[in-house]
Amino acid sequence: MRRRSRATELAKAESRLGRLPEDDRRFVEAVTSQIVAKLLHLPTVRLKEAAAEADGVVYAEVVRHLFGLGEEEQQS
């Protein structure tokens, strides 16, 4: 999901900026990938910790709801 979102946003930006040289495109892809990873790192770690607890299923359901996970499959 996050890869598709990032790729979609990169495509939109490129359509506005024009065709980037390949080196610049790789750089932008790397930077955006690093940003996404940094934003999701702590929540991912905490979710994994919570999954080991008795109420881990509750956390998993909340995350599915917040991020709309599984909704794409249900709509197909």
- The three state secondary structure string of the chain is CHHHHHHHHHHHHHHHHCCCCHHHHHHHHHHHHHHHHHHHHHHHHHHHHHHCCCCHHHHHHHHHHHHCCCHHHHHC
Spatial contact of 29 and 22, defined as CB atoms under 8 Å apart: no
Q: What is the mean pLDDT of the chain?
A: 83
Instruction: State the pLDDT at residue 27.
Output: 92
The tally of domains found in the chain comes to 1
Give the list of residues 6+ apart from residue 53 with CB closer than 8 angstroms, or none.
59
Q: How far apart are CA 20 and CA 76, in angstroms?
A: 34
pLDDT by 10s per residue, the chain, length 76: 556 788 888 888 888 878 888 898 889 889 989 998 999 899 889 888 988 888 888 888 888 898 888 876 555 4
Torsion of CA 38, 46, 62, 56, to 10 degrees: 150
User: Which pTM was predicted?
Assistant: 0.65
Range of the domain at 57: 2-75
